[in-house]
Structure 1
Amino acid sequence: MEWRDQGILLTTRRHGETSAIIEVFTPSHGRHAGVVRGGTSRKIAPILQPGAQLDVLWRARLEDHIGSFQVEPVRSRAAVAMGNRLALAGLNAVTGLLAFCLPEREAHPALYTQTEQLLDLLDQPELWPLAYLRWEIRLLNEMGYALALETCAVTGTRDDLAYVSPKSGRAVSRRAAGDWADRLLPLPAILRGEGSAPDGEIAQAFITTGYFLTHHLAKDLGQKPLPEARSRFVEAFIRRSAK
């Protein structure tokens, strides 16, 4: 068995004396693990950095075996990430969430394309937070937790939508929320693809997407805690905004 693809490196861990086990996210084979022989060597180890774009050749005797990878670098993102604290936090959030929630060997080509586009914006810190927010929305969609924000869940109207139901992920208008408003999640205009995306609205949107990542996605995966890298990125973004 063998296949060749490009992929984004998610995780690396040592295996034995000289090898490494890596996980890559590929468009055709999803999140896929394999052994890289000599992965701890001076030649290969610098290539195996989270977020790196790799050309990978996977081989195994049987399809359900872990198999082995041969890797060639396509594009490294380490230098850009290391040069900017927010970019590094964002890169770690993306790779951490993908490794956390993607089913093994299940293709998500649309999510892969958006992930690659997002990581290619690492050197544009003004664009990154909004692009990352849109990526989180795509991630929720792909994992089966799409937000329905076009009409009010109570009245069916499109006017004055201000909140999101934490249970259903549907929009709620200000009038329909009434006394329940303090139990609902914020619905800034940017979550509906509207407005100029000020930092304050993006921070509000992170509260809402973070709730569904934590209380729906992570919970359904067996009460696993969400990767801390996500909260570290949001905190770094808020600190930058405060300046």
Structure 2
Amino acid sequence: MHIRATAIVCAVLAHGEHGTVARLMTPDDGLQPGYVRGGRSRAIRPVLLPGNLVAAEFRARSEEQLAGLTVELVRSRAGLMGEPLAAAAIGWATALTAAALPEGQPFPQLHAALDGLLNAIELAPSARGWGAALARYELLLLGELGFGLDLSACAATGDAAGLAFVSPRSGRAVSLAGAAGYEDRLLPLPSFLIAGGQGEGWGDILAGLRITGHFLARDVMTERRAAVLAARERLIERIGRLG
């Protein structure tokens, strides 16, 4: 096995006395693990920060063997680690990717979306510029893993207009008319999850994140992976203070 790619660092674990096992998101080969010799050294440790873009080369004698991995820095986001909200967002997005995706399966749309999200976190003047993108990334990840929400039409009436809620049980959209009398049992649906854009304010962003968070916790981040949700809870708490 031999893979060369510009990849996103998603997770790094210490391995042995000096090495690390890094999991990188590649454009064409999905999430790939590799052993980095000397990965805990002063020279390589800053390269392997989650969120960084690296030129990666994986080599293994067979598909079953953990590949040896060498990396060179392409783009560092280390400067954002001193900004608590941006650092928390990068930490969550990369941890989610590493925990949720099966290794070795291509997810080109997710790679492009993660790269776009990280760029938005880096370049936007505030979290208002990337909060909606984070919710859309989580929504896309749910869909890529087979847990997509149906936001095309009302589950009760079949009407595509006036969609205002999501059923927490079925993941289908519900219109104002279809929700009459049941509003308190449904999740408010911000329009940006359907139409795009940045949302109309913090309330919209938090509403979108509540929807994706509900389905991530229920369908994806279960059992051992559930512990990763603590990073998301800390992020949502920080965003909530801004509202």
Contact 2:88 2:235 in 1 (8 A): yes
Contact 1:214 1:226 in 2 (8 A): no
Q: Deviations over 1:84-106 (max 9, x none)?
A: 22111100110111011000111
3-state secondary structure, aligned to 2:38: coil
Q: Deviations over 1:62-83 (max 9, x none)?
A: 111111101111111111x223
* Mapping of residues 63-74 of structure 1, within 5 Å: 63-74=63-74
Structure 2 residue runs of 5 or longer lacking an equivalent are none
* Residues 76 and 215 of structure 1, relative CA distance in 2, 3 Å threshold: same
Quick one: distance in 2 between partners of 1:92 and 1:146? 23
* Mapping of residues 9-158 of structure 1, within 5 Å: 9-79=9-79, 81-123=80-122, 124=124, 125=126, 126-158=128-160
Identity of aligned residues (%): 39
- Give the TM-score of the pair, scaled to structure 1: 0.92
Find out whether 1:8 has 2:8 as its counterpart: yes
3-state secondary structure, aligned to 1:152: coil
Q: Deviations over 1:136-158 (max 9, x none)?
A: 12111111122211211111112
Quick one: distance in 2 between partners of 1:66 and 1:223? 21
Deviates more, 1:114-123 or 1:175-184: 175-184
Quick one: distance in 2 between partners of 1:194 and 1:15? 42
One-letter identity of the residue aligned with 2:78: A
Paired positions, count: 239
Quick one: distance in 2 between partners of 1:224 and 1:230? 11
Over aligned residues, Cα RMSD in angstroms? 1.8
Contact 1:100 1:227 in 2 (8 A): no
- Give the TM-score of the pair, scaled to structure 2: 0.92
Structure 1 residue runs of 5 or longer lacking an equivalent are none
Quick one: distance in 2 between partners of 1:176 and 1:141? 24
Contact 1:213 1:226 in 2 (8 A): no
Contact 2:164 2:189 in 1 (8 A): yes
Q: Deviations over 1:3-58 (max 9, x none)?
A: 21111111112111211111111111111111111111121112111111111111
Q: 1:225 Cα shift?
A: 4.4
Give structure 1 regions of 4+ aligned residues with deviation exceeding 3 angstroms.
221-226
Contact 2:51 2:118 in 1 (8 A): yes
- Corresponding residue to 1:211 among 210, 214, 223: 214
Contact 1:22 1:35 in 2 (8 A): yes
* Residues 96 and 67 of structure 1, relative CA distance in 2, 3 Å threshold: same
